[in-house]
Amino acid sequence: MTLAIIDYDMGNLKSVSKALEAVGAEVCITRDPEKIRNAEKIVLPGVGAFGKCMENLKNYGLIDIIKESIKSGKYFLGICLGLQLLFEESEEFGPVKGLGILKGKVVKFNHASLKIPHMGWNQIKYKGGETPPLLDGIPDQSSFYFVHSYYVMPADQTIITTETDYAGFFCSSIQKENILATQFHPEKSQELGLKMLENFVNLK
């Protein structure tokens, strides 16, 4: 299986690639629309500022192929900022328009007592009582690694698969049909993170 990791100069591509290769994926790091089109699955990682990420996606001509890939039905995994970019807009230095594939917005943690960014290990809690396919074999309330100052607020609450408590619960992963995305970093989450990536690789 060929899996394309989208390269737009804003992701920890090497660590994501190594983690996916460790669970058996054949990985291609690319910004070539044809290679992305021909891949069986797509991963969009992301680290940095929302607006700069959108600017790079536009400048590299990647927005249309991302939307086309998702519309085609192939599995798509967004990681951290790769989750946030799927939504309509972010208030980070904004508002700044996102890809608009999912309805909702990205907002900043604003509780006075919170240390920002939210960084380190924190638990994920399944929403709705069912184990999401991406987290098959991973116990409820397992811990994953986070680094972020903003979080998504989906308009459709039914797409939220896990929540995490940081002075109140926020959305830490979503799934809508073939779109899967996490606020946490599976590639930095040791054994359970590798299990999650293996689940993604094995999705049929």
Q: Are 116 and 167 in contact (CB under 8 A)?
A: no
Amino acid at 181: A
Annotated catalytic, 191?
no
Structure tokens at 174: 């979503």
Annotated catalytic, 28?
no
User: pTM for this one?
Assistant: 0.95
DSSP 8-state class, residue 119: E
| Half-sphere exposure at residue 106, Cβ-oriented, CA atoms within 13 angstroms | 31
Catalytic residue among 53, 89, 148, 185: 185
Query: Which CATH fold topology does 2-202 show?
Result: Rossmann fold (3.40.50)
pLDDT beyond 90 at 114:
no
Catalytic residue among 80, 118, 148, 198: 80
Residue boundaries of the structural domains of the chain: 2-202
pLDDT in tens, 36-83: 999 999 999 988 899 999 999 999 999 999 999 999 999 999 999 999
Structure tokens at 62: 């990647």
Annotated catalytic, 88?
no
Catalytic residue among 89, 92, 171, 187: 187
Residue 1 pLDDT class (50, 70, 90 cuts): low
